[in-house]
Copies of this chain bind each other. A is one copy, B any other.
Amino acid sequence: MFGVTILGNNSAVPAYNRHPTAQIVTMQDQLLLIDCGEGTQMQIARYKVKWGKIKYIFISHLHGDHYFGLIGLITSMYLLGRKDTLYICGPTALEEIIHLQLKVADTKLPFQLVFIPLREDGVVVDESKYTVECFATQHRIECRGFIIREKKKPRKIDVEKVQQHNIPTSFYERLQHGEDYTNKEGTLIQNESLTVANSLGRSYAFSGDTLYDTNIACKVKNVTLLYHEATYLKNMEENAKLRYHSTTHQAASIAAQGCVDKLIIGHFSSKYEHLEVFLEEAKEIFPNTYLAVEGATHRL
């Protein structure tokens, strides 16, 4: 399963029982946490997320509503006896903050904590089944979005064809990864005649906090699912710009330009109690839009 579970959909000050940004990405048997606002560990408990399976934590930027819950989550993992290595990808200064807080509490973690500093755009995690890329966004402070891409699945063997050409089973794996086969007589048999392409890998992009920036549409081009922040309604464009955030129309416009399959909007300003209008406005530009609702899971 490849899916995204929303743990927090609000911006800045918590309001109306909405929580600051946090999302769990399920990638088969691994969990990835994106952002970790205050109270994320309580949300993890509420939605019965399996703590132990979180391998990576990605922090987009160092505004509190995106990371103040991180040190509490790490401390609870320690108290609950975690042993597996935990990888944290975030702005360089985050490492100092974590270590300072562990030091003053005299906490010696029983698991390894590997810090991956985010510096340039590009792949930051390369796992056997997926990669994670980061890209810079335009925010008041250094901020990044993330794209999790399932690796392209191996090609399917055409059983009839390989038997017809007497290809040894030991070569099947290389065929699945696209190699051509040369038989004993020196004849090259092209891969395309022996295998069939599998479905394209799915991909999830998380926008981070950002101004309306058409470059993001290029970066998230064709992803299966895009989460883009929509802090304000469309009539607040000036305010959004001033605060380095986006509106409903701007988020939906990035989704349209990026030709993505589906859009989720979130990071709602605490000034709004009701969210229906967010959905209506975004759909005016990009019909396949959904609201980030806490506890909801979107399968890709």
Contacts and interface: CB of A to CB of B under 8 A. Distances in A.
* Most chain B CB neighbours (cut-off 10 Å) among A69, A72, A79: A72
B41 A14 contact: yes
Interface stretch (A94-102, A147-155, A198-206): A94-102
Contacts of A12: 75-76, 79
Given A97-B100, A100-B97, A106 B41 contact: no
A68 B42 CA distance: 13
B100 A104 contact: no
A64 B72 contact: yes
* Most chain B CB neighbours (cut-off 10 Å) among A68, A91, A96: A68
* Most chain B CB neighbours (cut-off 10 Å) among A13, A41, A75, A104: A104
A126 to B, nearest CB: 28
Interface of A: 12-15, 38-39, 41-42, 45, 62-64, 68-69, 71-72, 75-76, 79-80, 91, 93-94, 96-97, 100-101, 104-106, 140-141
- A-B CB proximity, top 4 nearest: A62-B104, A38-B72, A64-B75, A93-B104
